[in-house]
Amino acid sequence: MRIRSQRELKGMELALVSYFCTDMGRILAIDYGRKRTGLAVTDPLKIIPGGLTTVPTHTLLDFLRDYVSRWSVSCWDCHAG
């Protein structure tokens, strides 16, 4: 199959995501620090990431418990910095 345009490629990517990903939970990225931890999350289709918030590290587990109880998260990505 030959792809003729960027638009056609994007359409194929979206079709593959919706076909292969039965769990449409979000990806949650964690940038762990000693004092503060940054969090980012994708949209439900896992295409567009965006900053979520920054929390004091000592409150991180409480924040994650609350967030995961309200939103579907299918994948975690952690970076210690």
Report the pLDDT value the prediction gives residue 65, as an integer from 0 to 100.
87
Q: Nearest Cα to 52, choosing from 38, 40, 63, 42?
A: 40
What is the pTM assigned to this prediction? Answer: 0.64
| Strongest mean pLDDT among 2-6, 9-13, 43-47, 66-70 | 66-70
Higher pLDDT, 44 or 9: 44
Secondary structure letter of residue 25 according to DSSP: P
3-state secondary structure of 71: coil
List pLDDT tens digits, range 11-59. 555 544 444 444 667 888 888 888 999 999 998 888 888 999 999 988 9
What separation in angstroms does the CA of 5 have from each of 10, 19, 48, 66, 75? 9, 21, 21, 43, 31
pLDDT for position 8: 54
